[in-house]
Amino acid sequence: MNIISCDYIVTFDEKLQIFKNKAIAYEKQIVKIDSKENLLKEYPDALTEDFCKNSVLLPGLINTHIHLEYIKNKNRLEYGEFIKWLSSVVKYREELVSLSSSEAISEVLTALLKCGTTTIGEISSFGEDIEPCKKSAINVVLFNETLGSNPSAVDVLYQDFLQRYYKTLSLKDERFIPAISIHSPYSTHPILAKKALGLAKDAGCVVSTHFLESFAEREWLTNASGGFKEFLEKFVPNPKPLTTIDEYIELFIGIPTLFTHLTYASKEELKRIDSEFFITSCPVSNRLLENKKLDLKDIKNLTIATDGLTSNISLNLWDELRSALFIHEAIDADELSKKLLTSVTKNAGLALKLNKGVIKEGFDADMIVVDLNQDFDNIDTIYKWLILHTKKVEKTIILGEKA
């Protein structure tokens, strides 16, 4: 048994309780929260660890949407409009993928642990990330991605996807969980999507998809015109949209899915998706690619994520939360900070169907400690101070072990 004590414990439980001067007894899971004195009476042989005044313990952060296969981009790609960006990704894809070695991915994962990210939802396009993810102490939900719009290639593409999916299934353990990604409505043929989603349903795994990320995507799906028509004509003669917006949503009914971006969804579409699924917003990516933000105010099933470094400058979730706090200036800073931190702890745990993201008896002991360094008057402002000042954490614990 271990006992850890901090000045504050921010739980993200149903009542969003914040405890002062309490301690946590834990093994792989959280066993009990009480005063250190009481816990020591119950577990006299426990190993103890105390953190200083103004230290804050909270659940490890969960980044539900990240791409590790393009981690060496800095100045290569064009920002400002999605098709321009996509064309630059196609142009420099080989170069960017070849720079992202297993070692480079491992280094990034080690850095993420020091920043307090304990779980990632990795969107895996080629499978190059499987080995470093498996080797890392970080928890990984690995979304094997399926992509391809040419109907005559569906069988070959599905076989390639299956090969990657079964490889991850053979490596499955409590820290490495296979899942499925349908790239997007403009890039994945519905036959391919249906096959992969059938598998997700049978296996009971979570699904991720990019959806309504650009003006061009909406125009393409609703009018079969605009930038996507021109872009796709480079690859297929006389391209047609593969699906409508409503048909695409219907594909995912009954499957736990994270819809990522939705910056061009209508209010009705957002409401519908929010009531049945989870919504992942990547504020920096949306700012860089389309100068657009998702209105977070009414979204309940929200998770915030970084996306990859083709559309961000940092994979540190604290950087993303800070950006989100500044970008969404219409919402009160304290209210928004609470919502943002809830989105990368409790909500993200629910979205990925994990026993994580809450400090409560029975939940996995994935915990981080932050040193806030200075006293503050009002406990309700703690979420804001955490977001404004944290870059790295003092301690990262995953499934009861130091990471």
Chain positions contacting Zn ion, by CB under 5 A: 307
Minimum distance from residue 235 beta carbon to Zn ion (Å): 20
Is 368 in contact with 58 (CB distance < 8 Å)? yes
Q: What is the number of the residue whose Cβ is closest to Zn ion?
A: 307
Q: Toward Zn ion, which CB reaches closer, 209 or 342?
A: 209
Q: Toward Zn ion, which CB reaches closer, 69 or 307?
A: 307
CA–CA gap between residue 319 and residue 345 (Å, rounded): 16
Q: Toward Zn ion, which CB reaches closer, 290 or 307?
A: 307
- Residues with a catalytic annotation lie at 213
**Sign of the CA dihedral 160, 165, 166, 168?**
positive
Q: Please report which residue ranges of 215-315 form alpha helices under DSSP H.
A: 215-223, 227-233, 245-251, 267-276, 283-290
Is 341 in contact with 382 (CB distance < 8 Å)? no
Minimum distance from residue 218 beta carbon to Zn ion (Å): 17
Minimum distance from residue 300 beta carbon to Zn ion (Å): 22
Q: Burial-class residue 68 by CB neighbours within 10 Å (0-12, 13-18, 19+).
A: buried
Within 13 Å and on the Cβ side, how many CA atoms surround 3?
A: 22
Q: Toward Zn ion, which CB reaches closer, 274 or 307?
A: 307
Strand-pair partners of 177: 141
CA–CA gap between residue 54 and residue 385 (Å, rounded): 11
CA–CA gap between residue 324 and residue 149 (Å, rounded): 33
Minimum distance from residue 334 beta carbon to Zn ion (Å): 30
Q: Toward Zn ion, which CB reaches closer, 164 or 338?
A: 164
Nearest of 195, 129, 196, 208 to residue 168 by alpha carbon? 129
Q: Toward Zn ion, which CB reaches closer, 7 or 307?
A: 307
Q: Toward Zn ion, which CB reaches closer, 215 or 385?
A: 215
Minimum distance from residue 308 beta carbon to Zn ion (Å): 6
Per-residue burial over 239-263, b if 16 or more Cβ lie within 10 Å, else e, is bebbbebeebbebbeebbbbbbbbb
Minimum distance from residue 121 beta carbon to Zn ion (Å): 10
Q: Please report which residue ranges of 176-226 form alpha helices under DSSP H.
A: 190-203, 215-223
Is 223 in contact with 206 (CB distance < 8 Å)? no
Query: Residue type for 322, please?
Result: R
Q: Burial-class residue 279 by CB neighbours within 10 Å (0-12, 13-18, 19+).
A: buried
Q: Toward Zn ion, which CB reaches closer, 269 or 307?
A: 307
Is 304 in contact with 283 (CB distance < 8 Å)? yes
Minimum distance from residue 1 beta carbon to Zn ion (Å): 41
- Do the strands 2-10 and 257-261 form a parallel or antiparallel pair, or are they unpaired? unpaired
Minimum distance from residue 212 beta carbon to Zn ion (Å): 13
Task: Please report how the helices 215-223 and 82-99 are oriented relative to each other, as an axis angle in degrees rounded to 10.
Answer: 120
Task: Please report how the helices 382-389 and 317-327 are oriented relative to each other, as an axis angle in degrees rounded to 10.
Answer: 110
